[in-house]
Structure 1
Amino acid sequence: MTLDHLFFTGLNVLLAWSVYVALLTGSLSFAQGAFMAMGCYGAGVLTVKFGLPLLPATLLAAVGAAVIAAVIGYPALRLRGIYLILVTLGMTFCVRVLLENVDYVGGVSGFGGMVGADLQAVLMAVVIVGALLFWLSRSPLQRIFDAVREDDRVAAAMGIRVTQIRLLGFAAGAAIAAVAGSLYGHYMNFVRPENFDVLLSVYVVLYVVLGGVNNLWGPLLGATVMTLLPEYFRVLADWRPTVFGLAILILLLFRPEGLLSFRTRTSRAKKATAP
């Protein structure tokens, strides 16, 4: 296992948590590729073109991605199911096409010159984001998220502003993905729009589904396994994709709730009050 493996494991954990935050309010987002690109290119422009240090550039890019997510999410989060998935997938596709046509950031040729990120930076980001999400899981806000996810009509009847809560989760996920994008760009030093395609967003959602969607540690485990496990299949040469795909299929069949799944407090409360 190399430093690159550890770096990308931490990066994928951040991306998995960015999906998990949106899922807390019942919104499944496939726009993480778009938000990651916003963080990468946004922070890259600030560091390369304007000479800003990496930390403030990353924070500004994360805030910018969150604001854009809130603006786009306001109409989008009124949709449900497949319609929301299509809108968020379309968002990722549109951002990639936009970047390919903006010469200021290199267009299809790519954007380079970004430096400063290393393994320590991504591990620090994982610790900070993990600590914030752990605090969230113990805070009253978690119960509000649970109520919106379980039944938004009942939550609205209780006086909860459902749309605003969903926007909060969506924007928070965008900010986390943007932080991951900034660290990715400043670690790789050079990126192209094709690095942030729709397939990236699909993989990130898969990390969460395989790890477990109803607790903080499931996405962490799923991202870690999905990042490191393919390396152990290298001995299989050309059979590696087939065997890896079969392993995922078997897991989904026999453990559909994910590798690490346990009941949330909402589920336990429902069971406790059931006749």
Structure 2
Amino acid sequence: METPALPVPEARSVIPAGLRGIFPVLVALVLLALFQWLVSESPFAVYLLSVMGVNIILAVSLNIVNGMTGQFSIGHAGFMAVGAYISGVLSLNLKEVALSFLPVAASDQVLFTVALLVGGLAAAACGFLVGLPSLRLRGDYLAIVTLGFGEIIRVVVQNTNAFGRALGLSGIPQYSSPYMVYFWVFLVVLVARRIAGSSHGRSLWAIREDEVAAEAMGVDTTGYKVRSFVISSFFAGIAGGLFAHFVPIINPGSFTFVKSMEIVVMVVLGGLGSTTGAIVAAILLTLLPEGMRSLFNALGTEGSLAQKVDQIRMPIYGLLLVVLMLSRPQGLFGVRELWDVLPRWIPRKRRGLS
């Protein structure tokens, strides 16, 4: 006679049910405060990490459109410019304003957050206006439309007095910090992962794999493409706002077609559809120029190559992209995430599979 199996007690979470949704955010806030304290002593580290964080936001947000939805946008720098200039002008107009019920530092951060959100919403509105008519197009035609939008934005700010024209916009309060930058990095990664694991994400994947079949199955392809475009544009605007608040001056030269292609290279290098792939590629391509500059300085070429890193990095990016397309067309991770690759390097006994 077999002994009946005893019921296995359910594992109880030590986190109260009401805090489970917000718990990752609370942990992130504590870790970011520690991170800010560790890097605050080095201005160069603060600047480099801030640039890296902005690039991560841009790459992950573009991955929602180019990777998950399978579209091809090459005008992401245009949405970044919208967020940068709108939030920058708003901060310039509000920098003398203080909220009397808050300390000065807290008041500045509240106004900075408002400026960021306004810049992000302005970029999202532009994304909606561009995406609604143009996302009925596919492939190269969509790429041409987004490229044209990016150039239109650049020409507009270059010829508008309120945006400083070609000389750029200076005097923007330097409110940005690694804490704020990486808080938005955390948010864009969280949103991207939540979208990828939801029913909306499955619709985006279906559009990527076969748009005609997805539409035949009842997926509102145009609606989902516009939504992904708006979300992507919003975070690009946030990245632009963060960028505008830690550089001395913003000018149209920071938001050219070259910047858009740099973001596209990050997404393709990491793997179209992989959020962690976009993060790894953004980190690598942000550190690459600094590594090249340090190498050239060590070789004693300070007066030649070391000063031309910004000019030669794009040909190097192009060469990397050609090599990658020939050797690994799907990118570093393909559509997988970092945690899907790491277990291959861990012994089976440690994973509890044997």
**Fold-level match, TM-score > 0.5?**
yes
Higher RCO by CA contacts (8 Å cutoff, separation 6 or greater) = 1
- Which of 151, 165, 171 lines up with 2:210 in the alignment? 151
Indicate if the aligned counterparts of 1:36 and 1:178 stay in contact, CA closer than 8 A. Answer: yes
Q: 1:191: how far off?
A: 0.8
The residue that corresponds to 2:158 in the other structure is: 100
Within 2, Cα distance between the matches of 1:2 and 1:131?
25
Q: Which residue of 2 aligns with 1:229?
A: 288
Q: Which amino acid aligns with 1:7?
A: S
1:3-41: CA deviation from partner (whole Å, max 9, x where unpaired): 222111111011101210112222111111110000001
Give TM-score scaled by structure 1 length. Answer: 0.89
Q: Distance in 2 between matches of 1:192 and 1:155?
A: 42
**Whole-Å separation in 2 of the counterparts to 1:21 and 1:261:** 14
Does 2:88 match 1:15?
A: no
User: 1:49 pairs with 88, 93, 104, which one?
Assistant: 93
What letter matches 1:250 in structure 2? V
- Alignment correspondent of 1:190: 249
Kindly indicate which of the two structures has a greater share of residues assigned to helix: 1
Q: 2: distance between equivalents of 1:149 and 1:247?
A: 25
Q: Using the TM superposition, give the Cα deviation of residue 164 of structure 1 relative to its aligned residue in structure 2, in angstroms.
A: 0.8
Number of corresponding residues: 264
Alignment of 1:27-106 (within 5 A): 27-51=71-95, 53-106=111-164
Paired AA for residue 46 in structure 2: L
Q: Deviations over 1:103-128 (max 9, x none)?
A: 11211121122220111111111011
Following the alignment from structure 1 to structure 2, what is the Cα–Cα distance between the partners of residues 88 and 163?
16
Q: Is the 8 A contact 1:230 1:244 kept in 2?
A: no
* 1:180 corresponds to: 239
In structure 2, distance between residues paired with 1:83 and 1:16: 22
> Does the CA-based 8 Å contact 1:221-1:260 persist in structure 2?
no
* 2:313 counterpart of 1:255: no
Given the alignment, which residue of 185, 188, 207 partners 1:129? 188
Q: Which runs of 5+ in 2 are unaligned?
A: 1-43, 98-110, 338-354
C-alpha separation between the residues in 2 aligned to 1:146 and 1:247? 27
Shift of 1:172: 0.8
Residue type at the aligned position of 1:227 = T
CA deviations on 1:198-240 (whole Å, 9 max, x unpaired) are 1100110000111111221111111111111222222145396
Q: CA deviation at 1:43?
A: 0.7
Match of 2:266 among 203, 207, 225: 207
1:4 equivalent to 2:59? Answer: no
TM-score (norm 2): 0.70
What is the alpha-carbon distance in structure 1 between the residues aligned to residue 269 and residue 246 of structure 2? 27
User: In the aligned structure 2, how far is the partner of 1:227 from the partner of 1:263?
Assistant: 22
1:68: Cα distance to partner?
Answer: 1.5
Q: 1:33 is matched by which residue type in structure 2?
A: A
Q: How far apart in 2 are the matches of 1:44 and 1:60?
A: 10
Deviation at 1:189, TM superposition (A): 3.5
Match of 1:165 in 2: 224
Do the aligned partners of 1:18 and 1:32 also contact (CA within 8 Å) in 2? no
Q: Distance in 2 between the 1:217 and 1:102 partners?
A: 38
1:120 aligns with one of 179, 195, 200: 179
RMSD: 2.0
Q: Do the aligned partners of 1:44 and 1:114 also contact (CA within 8 Å) in 2?
A: yes
Question: What is the percentage of aligned positions where both structures have the same residue?
Answer: 32
Deviation at 1:263, TM superposition (A): 5.1
Once residues 47 and 161 of structure 1 are traced to their aligned partners in structure 2, the CA distance between those partners, rounded to angstroms, is 39
